[in-house]
Amino acid sequence: QHRLSFSLPIASPAMAMLSTLAFAVATLSTSAAAGGLLRVPISKLHVQKVDGQSRGAQIMLGAAAQLGMAPHTAPTTQDVLSKNQYNSAYYGEIDVGTPGQPVTVIFDTGSSDLWVAVARGAHGKGLYFDGDSSTTHHSLHEPFHIRYGSGDVSGMFCEDTVAVGQLMLPNLTFALVSNTSGINGWDGSPYNGILGLGFDSIAKSSGQTLMSALVASGQLERPVFGFYLGDNSPGELVFGGVDPAHVASDFTWVNVTLPTWWAVGLDSIKLGDDLTLSATSTAIVDSGTSLIVGPTGEVVALMAMIGAETIQGLYVVSCAAILPDLSFILGGKAFALSMEDLVIQKMGGFCMLGIQAIDIGMPLWILGDVFMRKYYVQFDWGQERLGFALAASGNNLI
């Protein structure tokens, strides 16, 4: 069944290696009311071990990977519900080709390309794209390759029709991936592609990115999209605006400093009143990275102050400890995360924190899904800025 419900347009906007995964399965039906907000309802499916790895494993897609951070018609507001893979990835359904073939993709603000798996790269998954079955498919015979923190994918570029809800883009350039062997846990994951929402400048394709094409098509009410990351529940990605039901405060706007990734100026980081760090001046907001990632020296200093210890590259503290907030100062405003916000898993009396230390050639922080579950983020493509507001609900606990 495919169920579509509409409301009035609104004016304000890797693969996981887990011992237990919460996957989601879309249930599709059709019903419509007046307006332009499309919702796709989603339910959960629980799946056992993937690659025998712990549920604390990190997903690193666009920004983290490309920066080399692998640890060792009328304008509308379009709404796509995102499935929550046990608080580690957010994915939803798009249609590719004519007639449309449903494909599940991770929505990744840290990369810019769209790719979908074909039968050879699907490794037995039920959903994959078959270009031969599409009457609008056109092969480009240009190779595609991208490296993610969790592995590599490769294939060939093509052109075809792509639809996100009722937003349709003919002749969009994207990649058909036949090699997913480098991605850990691919066989057990519920998604079979990546939809990059970064800027055109970091795209592997010479054509328009999906967001760039949507803006140029005039289908969006405003050139923005907004993320609400559900916490052990469905999330929501809105194209053309925001969903005010998921926003609990005014937006603080911060200009993008480099229109490649969604990078903004980071004023400082504060741990309660005990410690202020100002050595790193850039933060990237990345829905394709599951945790908060920072330079080793700074993360080590912060974790030492709260008495955290490391287990398999992640930090744990006593769940009984009373700890100060960790705040990221963006646009002059403190965006605080309590220790409860940072906890991604409880193990007996210990709490695992969603923060990881990784070094690259430049100092920066990546504010991944742990941050984005606490704060609704509006990505303003037209004005190249980010808006941050308190999300209406949520905590990070797995």
Cα(215)–Cα(225) distance, rounded to whole angstroms? 11
Looking at 108, 160, 243, 380, which residue is catalytic?
Answer: 108
- In three-state secondary structure terms, 52 is coil
Cα(165)–Cα(321) distance, rounded to whole angstroms? 45
Contact assessment for residue 159 and residue 184, using Cβ atoms and an 8 Å cutoff: no
132: Cβ–Cβ under 8 A, 6 or more apart, which residues? none
For β-strands 282-285 and 365-367, DSSP reports them as parallel
Cα(81)–Cα(27) distance, rounded to whole angstroms? 11
Contact assessment for residue 284 and residue 261, using Cβ atoms and an 8 Å cutoff: yes
Q: How many CB atoms lie within 10 A of CB 60?
A: 29
Cα(51)–Cα(61) distance, rounded to whole angstroms? 18
Query: Residue 127, Cα to own-chain centre: how many angstroms?
Result: 20
Looking at 160, 243, 286, 380, which residue is catalytic?
Answer: 286
Buried b (16+ CB within 10 A) or exposed e, 125-155: bebbbebeebeebeebeeebebebbbbebbb
Strand partners, 195: 107, 114
Three-state SS sequence of 167-187: EEEEEEEEEEEEECCCCCCHH
Taking the CA atoms of the chain, what radius of gyration do you get in angstroms? 20
Task: Note if 231 is an active site residue.
Answer: no
Q: Tokens 């249609």 correspond to what residue?
A: 95
Q: Tokens 């193990």 correspond to what residue?
A: 347
Q: Which amino acid is at 78?
A: Q
Q: Tokens 């923060």 correspond to what residue?
A: 355
Cα(12)–Cα(167) distance, rounded to whole angstroms? 20
Cα(76)–Cα(10) distance, rounded to whole angstroms? 9
Contact assessment for residue 112 and residue 169, using Cβ atoms and an 8 Å cutoff: no
Task: Note if 108 is an active site residue.
Answer: yes
Q: Catalytic residues, which ones?
A: 108, 286
